[in-house]
Amino acid sequence: MPLNAADRDIPTRIDGYGDTFGKLYEGPFERKPDGRRAGGRIRGSVPHGGSKVVGGIKDAIAASGLTSGMTISFHHHLRNGDHVVNQVIGACAEMGIRGLTIFPTALFEVHRDIIPHIKSGVVSRIMGSVNGPIGQLISEGGMEAPVVLRSHGGRPRAVMSGEVRIDAAFIAAPTADRAGNISGRAGRSACGSIGYAFTDAECADCVVAITDNLHSHPISPVSIPGIYVDFVAECERIGDPSGIVSGTTAVTRDPLRLLIAKYASGLIESSPYFMDGISFQTGAGGIPLAVTAFMRDAMRRRDIRGSFGLGGITGYFVSLLREGLVQKLMDVQSFDLDAARSILDDPNHMEISADWYANPWNCGAAVNMLDVVILGATEVDADFNANVNTEADGALLHGIGGHQDTAAGAKLTIIAQPLLRGRIPCVVDRVHTLTTPGQVIDAVVTEFGVTINPRRKDLLDSWQEFRPGCDIPLIPIDELAERARRLSGPMEPVRTTDRIIGVVEWRDGTVIDVVRQLER
């Protein structure tokens, strides 16, 4: 079995995925693109042609020409409130369509309804992030073909390079008009940016907008113009607003997370990048939000004006924009209603596509302009490699998200997380699954202090020179791993079979690791 450049055993052929010859991970920036971009089927229209509005989801599926064995795509902007994936797959099942490859940006707990359709063969393959119960099912061998995991940037790259052809894209549209113009900014299922759907709309052979907020007049502003949209289907509800809001919107009072956030913010402040024009991505959740709050304090204190905030945008980030601490927000997904409202009202709050956000094979993704990113991981190892896909028991429960892309793009990539989750260590000798290589991770921050990758001698120098005070401990990675071992005690090794149930692609399409089926 060949080793890739990250020392992972990858078979020369993976059933349900294909040959890996020429597709082994070579390094974070080694593989270069060539050839021409792929696109969808060319369509034409005539003046005053027929209406795009069809009767409902089943009519839209029929109109799209979808048949068994095809590939259909979805976006996940409605997150755990999404109703569209379940409705479309349910309708396909009733229409006798089988053997579908689904190509969602992510699946959540709410999509457990498609499990019977996986078992019955309506869905035979998933290329996309699997969170929760579907991930558990797949980990236990509940699907023939392995899941293909791609990053937010790797996914549009795969589409635009022709590696994945989308036969039909079903786009949940919080607002749409009869001409097929789509926006995520308004409607009862408003989610703000719908940036993950842009590439699908541009490149799919057929595009269906599914909406519960259909306007007879042209809408504005438009996220996806109707020039890409073949059909518009109305349904009663595309989503549940309570499930659309992601994570927490208030800064945590949890002292452990505050401590980690304070240390991460201190590292940023000590870095050479903490100056006017700094750009950063912090994301949602307890620690990232608290880092943003500490950074806001530091920016005020040192009179720093940032350039832009990127990625998943929260209401807290919006407050930075309003205060003038950043000049622009580049929003590929809006995590809460404040962010969704802001993108509607504020021209400095920009909606960007996943391609623009993170695709390594275009003329300049936004991640390449990032100074600092705060990320999490389920595991980090002594080489600073990160695992964000599998849990300590080996189950494939999470997608890659923008982890690989932002880590590769940012000048300072920080993994900020507690050393242990419960009694499970997050710093280990070797990560079970390799998602993001240590070459693009610069520091790990835990409650025990800041751990800087020795590769970044410049950061160690700036830490020594500019460190923001004397109260943030610096701890070597070996010592951190030893602490984790001492606190957790010996862990049972993950027991898997040889069968591969997941393929983790690096953002350039090479195979960085595989996930194997759990032993029963």
Partner 1 sequence: MLYLPGNSPNMLLRGHLFRPDGLIIDLEDSVSAGEKDAARVLVRDVLRRGDFGECEVTVRINGVGTDCWRDDIAAVVPCGISGIRAPKTETPRMVKDMDEYLSSVESKSGMSVGGIEIFCLLETALGVWNAYDIATSSPRVTAIIPGGEDLAADLRTSRGNEGTELEWIRRMIVVAARAAGVDALDTVFPNISDDDGLRREAGFVKQLGFDGKSVIHPNQIPIIHEIYAPTESEVERAERILAAAREASERGLGVAALDGRMIDAPVIRRAEFTLQRAGRARESDERRVKSCR
Where on the chain is the footprint of partner 1 (CB under 8 A)? 253, 255-256, 258-259, 447-448, 451-452, 454, 457, 460, 463-464, 467, 470-471, 473-476, 486-487
Q: Whole-number minimum distance, CB 452 to partner 1, in Å?
A: 6
Kindly tell me which of 3 and 487 has the beta carbon lying closer to partner 1: 487
Give the position of tokens 């590292």.
Answer: 267
CB of 472 to partner 1, least distance (A): 8
Kind plus residue range of the DSSP H or E element containing 502? strand 496-505
Bridge partners (DSSP) of residue 207 are 169
Q: How far is the CB of 474 from partner 1 (least distance, A)?
A: 4
When the beta carbons of 184 and 449 are compared against partner 1, the nearer one is: 449
Closer residue to partner 1 in complex, CB, 335/448: 448
CA distance 156 to 195: 11
Residue (344 or 474) nearer to partner 1, CB: 474
For residue 451, the minimal CB distance to partner 1 (Å) is 7
In the complex, minimum distance from the CB of residue 475 to partner 1, in angstroms, rounded to a whole number = 7
d(CA 413, CA 417): 13
Separation in Å, CA 462 to CA 46, 387, 408, 465, 474: 63, 28, 21, 5, 13
CB-nearer residue toward partner 1: 48 or 486: 486
Which of residues 258 and 326 has its CB atom nearest to partner 1 in the complex?
258
Handedness of CA 197, 198, 203, 204 (dihedral sign): positive
Nearer to partner 1, 72 or 480 (CB): 480
Backbone angles phi, psi at 243, to 5 degrees: -90, -10
E-state strands within 83-230 = 100-104, 106-107, 123-126, 129-130, 147-149, 168-173, 175-177, 182-183, 207-211, 214-215
In terms of CB distance, is 36 or 253 closer to partner 1? Answer: 253
In 10 A of CB 37, how many CB atoms?
13
Which C-beta is closer to partner 1: that of 85 or that of 380?
Answer: 380
Q: How far is the CB of 167 from partner 1 (least distance, A)?
A: 50
Query: Following DSSP, what letter does each residue of 135-166 receive, concatenated?
Result: HHHHHTT--SSPEEE--TTHHHHHHHTTSS--
Burial class for 171, CB neighbours closer than 10 Å (0-12, 13-18, 19+): buried
Nearest to 260 by CA among 377, 435, 404: 377
Query: Is the preceding peptide bond at 218 cis, omega within 30 degrees of 0?
Result: no
The residue among 328, 323, 260 whose CA lies nearest residue 289 is: 260
The nearest distance, CB 478 to partner 1, in angstroms, is 9
Q: What are the structure tokens assigned to 489, written together?
A: 């005690």
Nearest approach in angstroms of CB 469 to partner 1 is 9
- Which of 126/259 has CB closer to partner 1? 259
- Nearest approach in angstroms of CB 28 to partner 1 is 23
Cβ contacts of residue 422 below 8 Å, gap of 6+?
none
Q: How far is the CB of 275 from partner 1 (least distance, A)?
A: 22
Alpha carbon distances (Å) from 218 to 195, 226, 230, 340: 20, 10, 16, 20
Buried b (16+ CB within 10 A) or exposed e, 389-412: bbbbebbbbbbbbbbbbbbbbbbb
